[in-house]
């Protein structure tokens, strides 16, 4: 938990205002979700494993509540209920605080953080995926972070296809996910040894170690042949072709080892990294089955930016920090009776001036 004031608070407000302005430019409508909601909502949305990181408590009727650990789950529920009759696709954006219990870590230690993000609901077309990526790039460029950020692309179908091919049970899938996530190639090879040929295990372990460009997709296509993974690699290949056509390859990489911990993603996933920040600065992806948990099945894609991480990156380099409004000199007002003092103050404010009332007894 942290307090922010002065220049730091103004910088955070600038990041939020910039992101919301970009969302508005792409015709996204703002939504505000509750800070406290039923814990079951987040179990349906995030999955049981991630939802357990929420701060939980009970109300006077004994119902389990939680401080909001994930905005996307709340937006998905709203789309399926309150906004069920709205024309699709829905384009929704938000700025809100999330609360999560964090394991000891120097990189991610805050239990309260602020997120800005957007959700595109009701479109299965790949244009929605590209729209989400284009918006993320625009926000970061508007914040003058061009050249300092990287967005890694993956598709959960690659991992899920391999896990199915190896006939892994849920515990085995979690173990393989963890080994890939920590980039432990030696342990991953040992884990895969009983399930596949040693040559394939070595090749796969090497494949998920380092990000790259189109060559990563080419290598993966040669190595991974199961239908589910092949389809996911095909989607990534098509998306990369669009990235190339937009001349954005400097901002993007393919990283098949960058896995999401959230259960609701069904296709494209991406993470956002900014130079000078020890943890990721945002991420998102496609979640085509999440909204069905709340009664209506429809495809969706979206992302969030971690405002704390973005503000940290900007504050570390004064040359890149956005120029905040210079602190205006205040007109110091004092003397006279209270009515006269405030009459002068209101007149000054009506003209847009800044005032500072010197209350009797102040230095």
Choose the final residue of a domain: 252, 274, 296: 274
* pLDDT confidence of residue 134: 96
Query: Domain check: are 321 and 332 in the same one?
Result: no
Query: Domain check: are 6 and 139 in the same one?
Result: yes
Those residues of the chain that have pLDDT short of 50 are 106, 320, 323-324, 362-363
Query: Domain check: are 188 and 92 in the same one?
Result: no
pLDDT tens-digit series, residues 215-240:
999 989 988 888 999 999 999 999 99
How many structural domains are present in the chain?
3
Query: Domain check: are 33 and 139 in the same one?
Result: yes
Query: Domain check: are 112 and 199 in the same one?
Result: no
Choose the final residue of a domain: 231, 247, 274: 274
Expressed as residue numbers, the domain containing 95 is 1-145+279-327
97: nearest Cα among 123, 133, 78, 70: 70
| CATH, residue 176 | 3.30.930.10
Query: Domain check: are 133 and 160 in the same one?
Result: no
* pLDDT confidence of residue 5: 87
Query: Domain check: are 170 and 141 in the same one?
Result: no
Query: Domain check: are 311 and 223 in the same one?
Result: no
* pLDDT confidence of residue 360: 60
Query: Domain check: are 253 and 176 in the same one?
Result: yes
Query: Domain check: are 55 and 156 in the same one?
Result: no
Q: pTM for this one?
A: 0.87
Euclidean distance between CA atoms 294 and 76, whole angstroms: 8
* pLDDT confidence of residue 320: 47
Query: Domain check: are 313 and 356 in the same one?
Result: no
Query: Domain check: are 221 and 332 in the same one?
Result: no
Choose the final residue of a domain: 256, 274, 292: 274
């Amino acid at each position: 938990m942290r307090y922010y004031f002065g220049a730091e608070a103004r910088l955070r407000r600038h990041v939020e205002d910039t992101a919301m302005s970009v969302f508005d430019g792409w015709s996204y409508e703002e939504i505000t979700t509750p800070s406290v909601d039923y814990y079951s909502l987040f179990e349906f949305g995030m999955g049981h494993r991630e939802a357990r990181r929420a701060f939980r408590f009970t109300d006077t009727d004994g119902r389990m509540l939680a401080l909001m650990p994930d905005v996307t789950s709340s937006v998905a529920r709203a789309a399926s209920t309150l906004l069920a009759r709205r024309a699709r696709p829905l384009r929704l954006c938000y700025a809100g605080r999330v609360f999560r219990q964090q394991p000891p870590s120097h990189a991610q230690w805050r239990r309260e953080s602020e997120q800005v993000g957007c959700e595109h609901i009701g479109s299965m077309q790949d244009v929605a995926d590209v729209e989400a990526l284009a918006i993320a790039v625009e926000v970061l460029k508007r914040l003058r972070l061009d050249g300092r950020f990287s967005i890694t692309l993956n598709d959960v179908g690659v991992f899920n296809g391999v896990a199915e091919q190896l006939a892994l049970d849920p515990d085995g899938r979690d173990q393989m996910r963890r080994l890939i996530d920590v980039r432990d190639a030696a342990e991953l090879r040992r884990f895969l040894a009983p399930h596949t040929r040693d040559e394939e295990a070595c090749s796969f372990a090497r494949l998920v170690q380092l990000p790259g460009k189109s060559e990563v997709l080419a290598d993966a296509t040669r190595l991974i042949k199961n239908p589910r993974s092949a389809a996911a690699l095909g989607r990534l290949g098509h998306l990369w072709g669009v990235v190339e056509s937009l001349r954005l390859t400097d901002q993007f990489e393919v990283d098949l080892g960058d896995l999401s911990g959230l259960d609701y993603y069904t296709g494209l996933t991406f993470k956002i990294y900014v130079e000078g920040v020890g943890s990721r600065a945002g991420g998102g992806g496609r979640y085509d089955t999440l909204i069905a948990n709340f009664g209506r099945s429809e495809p969706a894609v979206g992302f969030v930016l971690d405002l704390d991480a973005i503000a940290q990156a900007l504050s570390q380099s004064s040359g890149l920090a956005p120029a905040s409004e210079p602190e205006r000199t205040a007109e110091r007002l004092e003397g006279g009776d209270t009515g006269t003092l405030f009459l002068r103050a209101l007149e000054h404010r009506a003209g847009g001036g800044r005032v500072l009332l010197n209350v009797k007894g102040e230095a």
